[in-house]
Amino acid sequence: MIEQHLSLLLVVVPLLAAPVTAILPSGRLPWLLTLIVTWLCLVIACWQLSVVIDGSVISYELGGWSPPWGIEYRIDAMNAFVALIVSAIAAITLPYALLSVEKEIPLHQTSLFYSIFLLCLVGLLGITQTGDVFNLFVFLEISSLSSYVLIAMGEQRRALTSAFQYLIMGTIGATFLLIGIGLVYAETGTLNMVDLNQRLHPILDHRTVHTGFAFIVVGIALKLALFPLHLWLPNAYKYSPSVISVFLAATATKVAVYIMLRMVFGVFSNDFVRITPTDHMFLLLGVFGVILASVAAIYQTDVKRLLAYSSIAQVSYMVLGMGLASVLGITATLVHVFNHALMKGALFMACGALVYRVGSSRFEKLNGLGRQMPWTFTAIFIAGLSLIGIPGTAGFISKWYFVRAALEQQSWFIALVILLGSLLAVVYMWKIVEVMFLRPVSDTALSVKEAPILLLIPMWVLVIANIYFGINTELTVNVADSAARLLGVAAYHE
Amino acid sequence: MLLILLQDYWGSLHTMSDQQLLLLAVFLPFAGAIGVMLCRRWPNLREAVTLTTAATVCVVVISLYLRFLDGALLAVDIAEPLPGLTIRFEVESLGMLFALVASTLWLITSVYAIGYMRGHHELNQTRFYALFAIAIGSTLGVAFAGNLLTLFLWYEILTIATYPLVAHAGTDEARRGARTYVGILLTTSIVLLLLAILITYTITGSLDFREGGILAGKLDPAWAGLLYALFIFGIGKAAVMPFHRWLPAAMVAPTPVSALLHAVAVVKAGVFTVLKVTIYIFGTDFITSSGANDWLIWFAGSTILLASLVAMTKDNLKLRLAYSTISQLGYVVLGALLATNMSLVGGALHISMHAFAKITLFFAAGAILVAANKSEVSDMGGLGRAMPITFGTFLIGSLSIIGLPPFGGMWSKWYLGLGTVESGQWLLLCVLLISSLLNIAYLLPVPVRGFFGKARDGTTYTHIREAPVSCLIAMMITSLACLLLFFYPDPFYELALNAAGGK
């Protein structure tokens, strides 16, 4: 029977731990508690996935109120999959956080830092668990508000303006989402996703529904940093503490992708996407996002900003997958959600290790550091190969599915854009490689040592995961495929 | 004592199962690379690790060859990264031929490299030897790949692993060269080759290598030419013009890299892939019946001629050899494109014949660089009298490339010529003949100038001696092999004939 409660536990455990962490004395104790909580979440998320992986659905009625009146937590393969990604990244980030946070966050703020981190985790996990659109909005706000605070805790004063920029954009996005949900609620009188889907079906041609849909999509697109609504992201990733860059880059946009999938394909429907120009819009913005963000990444002179632009490009791939609106396309998107979390997690961790040793991620500080920090450099190199999509890495699997989804529909242009995107990734990743590997070491950097082992181990766990999930895709592909089918997306027919 | 040890060693190879032996061949170089890195503080031990690994890999490949001759089915699946698509190793004739060439030449090059790297006082030698081993491991991976996905996997790893070797010197020039190298190879493989593989998979639902190909009957013949072009140009390592620029750019690497990787392993991985795709993905019948090769053969033909013409203008010896390689690769590609039995035999044979000859030339070029510090052909007047062995081997290598008896290079040209006749392409036969003349024009001046010319400033070289002994040994072995392959080409010929369909 405990399986029924798993979905709730995943939210309640970090939610209860957050205030406890806040009142603990600063130091390593809050870290330890957070570590335990994240590992507990990981165990629960694995368990939950093992229950629903066969295609079954867990439905939990919050407070015993049966849906559609009460809030329902509804877990299928897709929810469990995304929840697993979030909790796994959190669990891997935490061992890394110990040293990095001690270096970048003032000691007296650490208990608050971890407390807010847990709240952010609550928000992200809650989004993946709930089957109620208003509840989803609430969790989205929890995660957003806490991430504004976390970003503002960055060392430089620019962190404050970046957080403020994100706050403005994020709030607009959330407001749009709320307006959209309100309009849909006005039309249907329900907030439960399954119920909404059924009730929307006969009235899909109503103007109000269309307007609501537009508000919802734009609102989520802001959170997703979908081109051209991506302006908040580079600075937010650049100036936030290293740990937060890792965590947000690997999870926040992925959860936003999940929301988009759930709302567009789960609440509305595949047919709705096809009769409205939504799929074309996704394709158009995805193409622009892949090309322009990748080109922008090439011109960066700071590793963190470069990776941030690369994230925008990678999210655009996922949007392309949605635009293809087929089982293969959605599968590609979900596989990439997982794989991109692995590669960007590893890259931002390596970046954090560089910041830990030389205090900056600007190119001029990193000249020749590849020889001083070989393990960090190799991690960047392998994760970079995965980002490019070299076979034998996780990135290749994503690319394989994206191009196949495009070829299946004879979308030659989209297929070429996807391949062109990985070429641009070669260019920007090679900029980092050349700086770190071929430029001569500056005299000041000669004393720089390899990052401490506590930073290296989590980094390398992710690097090895990048290779492992490039060779064994049983988990990723199977789950993504069954999740795509559960969404009710039809296979593409000519 | 030593004999007993060797016997033990041989015995343990014998008791291994076929699968284990196959995996050992591919992964032993990687283990060797780790060993090299562990021994980085003791250069002599490190070189011993390289030599031992190279020798062992050579023995393993040869014993694989013996088992293959016995008719053993050597195949093993190691993973299934995509549903229905496995990472699979399988030994077949063409791969066996390529693996034999690569592994024996690795051993010889290792001997050479030790003399060269020390004589030339190169930096970062540990990295050099480790990556060298990885590159050879990847080459064997390409050779033994059991389907197109596996082949692509190792093809890309080979590109990545050789990048630091090209950038080895760390100078601006090396950085530029390495950028061109990796840029062109990755661009062609990601945009064209991967697309071609995905299209093939979308059409057929399979990437297996099968006798007679997998595309026949599934692909509209009208589109066959386009898909074939995607493959031919996508396999950038085959250096078909206009995607050849990476090869001259790679010449900034230390000479052993140019010798083994950019005359044998990497470039041959390219033309090997072309042959594999031709024989096992398209199938020769499908190519000739659909006319997929109609216009592509002219790309190969013009690559052969144009690269030879460019080679004549190059004064830098390594660059001249690089363009010569491009031209010679064109022979193999042409052999594949003609898709007749004889042309395929010629193409496959040329992989081995050209390898032994070209590596000799590069060894000699490196020896001249180490001993006399000269890289321009025009500076080499009179040098041959000071370094007779070096220039003598260069002469032998040149003659083999030109295709004169009694050297191995004659056989491959012979069969390629027969192939053009068989398919009625007289114009291409002329291309082959003109190219041979051009070979004479750009290769023979080097030894001629060396033996009979004078230095520009009139000095006679008395202070210059031959290159280090290990370099000389390596050169002599490969030039002897050129001679031997004329009289005894059978092992390679049998394999080539088998791959071509053996009719």
Q: What is the DSSP string of B186-203?
A: HHIIIIIIHHHHHHHHHH
Taking the C-alpha atoms of residue B434 and residue B327, their distance in angstroms, rounded to an integer, is 12
pLDDT of B388 above 70:
yes
- Which positions in chain A touch B170 (Cβ < 8 Å)? 438, 440
Is the pLDDT assigned to residue A3 strictly greater than 80?
Answer: no
Give just the sign of the alpha carbon dihedral B330, B324, B468, B407. positive
Question: How far, rounded to the nearest angstrom, does the alpha carbon of residue A29 sit from its chain's CA centroid?
Answer: 28
Report DSSP state, residue B90: E
Between the CA of residue B15 and those of B9, B10, B27, B66, what are the distances in Å? 10, 9, 18, 14
DSSP B257: I
Question: Which residue in B81, B149, B191 is closest to A420 by CB distance?
Answer: B191
Residues A2-31, mean pLDDT to the nearest whole number:
85
The residues facing A240 across adjacent strands are none
Residue of chain B minimizing CA distance to A400:
B198
Residue A205 neighbours by CB under 8 Å, 6+ apart: none
Once rounded to an integer, what is the mean pLDDT over residues A58-82? 83
| Per-residue pLDDT at A492 | 59
DSSP H or E run through A60: strand A58-61
Compare CB distances from B82 to A389, A423, A473 and report the shortest one's residue. Answer: A473
Whole-angstrom Cα distance, residue B40 to residue B46?
6
Is the pLDDT assigned to residue B503 strictly greater than 50? Answer: no
Q: What is the mean pLDDT of chain A?
A: 88
State the Cα–Cα distance between residues A442 and A362, nearest whole angstrom.
14
Please count the other Cβ atoms lying within 10 Å of the Cβ belonging to residue A416: 15
Higher pLDDT, A102 or A317: A317
Measured CA distances, B461 to A404, B365, B371, B415, B451 (Å): 64, 17, 11, 43, 12
User: pLDDT of A193-231, one tens digit each?
Assistant: 888 888 888 888 888 889 999 999 999 999 888 888 888
Least confident range from A229-238, A271-280, A326-335, B110-119: namely B110-119
| A291 vs B295, higher pLDDT | A291
Average pLDDT over residues B177-192: 89
pLDDT mean over B327-346: 88
A386 within 8 A of A394, measured Cβ to Cβ: yes
Say whether A416 and B201 touch across the interface (CB within 8 A).
no
Of B160, B178, B202, the CB nearest to A385: B160
Residue among B308, B287, B327 at smallest CA distance from B423 = B287
Give the residue among A193, A191, A317 at the shortest CA–CA distance from A253.
Answer: A317
User: Is residue A406 over pLDDT 80?
Assistant: yes
Closest CA to A350 of A319, A307, A389: A307
Question: Shortest Cα distance from B456 to chain A (angstroms)?
Answer: 37
Exposed, middle or buried: residue B178 (CB in 10 Å: 0-12, 13-18, 19+)?
buried
**Residues forming beta bridges with residue A75, ordered by sequence position:** A58
Mean pLDDT over residues B188-206, rounded? 89
- Report d(CA A408, CA A417) in Å as an integer: 15
Tens of pLDDT, residues B79-134: 888 888 888 888 888 888 899 888 888 888 888 888 777 777 777 788 888 888 89
* Residue of B172, B190, B192, B230 to mutate when probing chain A, most A C-beta within 10 A: B190
**Whole-structure pTM value:** 0.89
Residue A461 pLDDT > 90, yes or no? yes
pLDDT at B429 over 90: no
Q: B191 and A392 in contact by Cβ < 8 A? A: no
Secondary element (H or E) of residue B86:
strand B85-90
User: For B431-477, what is each residue's pLDDT tens digit?
Assistant: 888 888 888 888 888 888 888 877 777 676 667 777 778 788 888 88
Q: What percent of chain B has pLDDT over 70?
A: 95
Q: Is the pLDDT of residue B342 over 70?
A: yes
Q: What is the dihedral of CA A201, A205, A209, A212, to 10 degrees?
A: 120
* Cβ–Cβ under 8 Å, residues B109 and B256: yes
Q: CB of A382 within 8 Å of any CB in chain B?
A: no
Gap between the Cα atoms of B1 and B13, Å rounded: 19
Portion 78-137 of B in contact with A at CB < 8 A: 79-83, 87
Phi-psi region of A74 (alpha: psi -120 to 50; beta: other; left: phi over 0): beta
Q: Kindly list the residues from chain B whose CB atom is less than 8 angstroms away from the CB atom of residue A400.
A: 82, 198
| Cβ-nearest to B82 among A389, A397, A426 | A397
Distance from CA of B81 to the nearest CA of A (A): 4
Of residues B13 and A131, which shows the higher confidence score?
A: A131
CB–CB contact A438 B183 (8 Å): no
Long-range contacts: A279-282, Cβ < 8 Å, 24+? A279/A322, A279/A323, A279/A324, A279/A325, A280/A323, A281/A323, A282/A319, A282/A320, A282/A322, A282/A323, A282/A325
Interface list for B 158-177 with A (CB within 8 A): 160, 164, 167, 170, 174-175
Q: Count CB neighbours of B170 within 10 A.
A: 17
- Chain A residues touching B176 at Cβ < 8 A: none
If one compares B12 and B262, the residue with the highest pLDDT of the two is: B262
CB contact under 8 A, B198 and A415: yes
How would you class B306 by CB atoms within 10 Å of its CB: exposed for 0-12, middle for 13-18, buried for 19 or more?
middle
CA angle B234, B236, B242 (to 5 degrees): 95
Q: List Cβ<8 Å contacts ≥24 apart for B484-491.
A: B484/B408, B485/B352, B485/B353, B485/B356, B485/B407, B485/B408, B485/B411, B486/B405, B486/B406, B486/B407, B486/B408, B486/B410, B486/B411, B487/B406, B489/B349, B489/B353, B489/B408, B489/B411, B491/B65, B491/B100
Name the residue among B149, B174, B191 with its Cβ closest to that of A423.
B191
Which of the pair, A408 or B502, is modelled with greater confidence?
Answer: A408
Most confident of A138-142, B29-33, B375-379: A138-142
Q: B81 and A473 in contact by Cβ < 8 A?
A: yes
Question: How many angstroms away from the CA of A477 is the closest CA of chain B?
Answer: 8
* Chain B nearest CA to A481, separation (Å): 11
pLDDT digits (tens, 9 = 90+) for B416-428: 888 888 888 888 8
The pLDDT of B385-399, averaged and rounded, is: 86
Q: How far apart are CA A161 and CA B49, in angstroms?
A: 57
Inter-chain residue contact B83 with A477, CB threshold 8 Å: yes
Sign of the four-CA dihedral A65, A67, A71, A73: positive
Contacts of A434 in chain B (CB under 8 A): 175, 179
Angle B148-166/B194-204 helices, nearest 10 degrees? 170
Lowest average pLDDT, out of A157-171, B14-28, B198-212, goes to B14-28
**In the predicted model, is pLDDT for residue A455 greater than 60?**
yes
Does A494 have pLDDT greater than 50?
no
pLDDT greater than 90 at residue A447: no
Residue A393 C-alpha, separation from nearest chain B C-alpha, in angstroms: 10
| pLDDT higher than 90, residue B55 | no
> Would an 8 Å CB–CB cutoff place A400 in contact with chain B?
yes
| A384 contacts on B by Cβ (under 8 Å) | none
Contacts of B56 (CB under 8 A, 6+ apart): B28
CA pair distance B119, B388, nearest whole angstrom: 19
A470 in contact with chain B, both atoms CB, cutoff 8 A: yes
| Number of Cα atoms under 13 Å in the Cβ half of residue A369 | 33
> What is the predicted pLDDT for the residue at A364?
82
Cβ distance of A392 and B198 shorter than 8 Å: no
Judged by a CB distance cut-off of 8 A, whether residue A327 touches chain B is no
What integer is the mean pLDDT of A462-470?
Answer: 91
Q: Hey, what amino acid is at B31?
A: A
pLDDT score for B2: 57
Q: Residue B267 in contact with residue B325, Cβ under 8 Å? A: yes
Decide if B198 and A391 are in contact by the 8 Å CB cutoff: no
Q: How many CB pairs under 8 A join A and B?
A: 72
Distance CA B263, CA B96 (A): 18
Q: With contact defined as beta carbons under 8 Å apart, do B55 and B119 qualify? A: no
Which whole number is the average pLDDT over B356-385? Answer: 83
* CA distance to A196, A398, B296, B346, B421, per residue, from B416 (Å): 70, 42, 16, 5, 9
8 Å CB contact between A173 and A212: no
CB-based contact A426 B186, cutoff 8 Å: yes
pLDDT on residue B9: 66
ipTM topping 0.90 = no
Domain boundaries, chain A: 278-494
The mean pLDDT value for B235-263 works out to 84
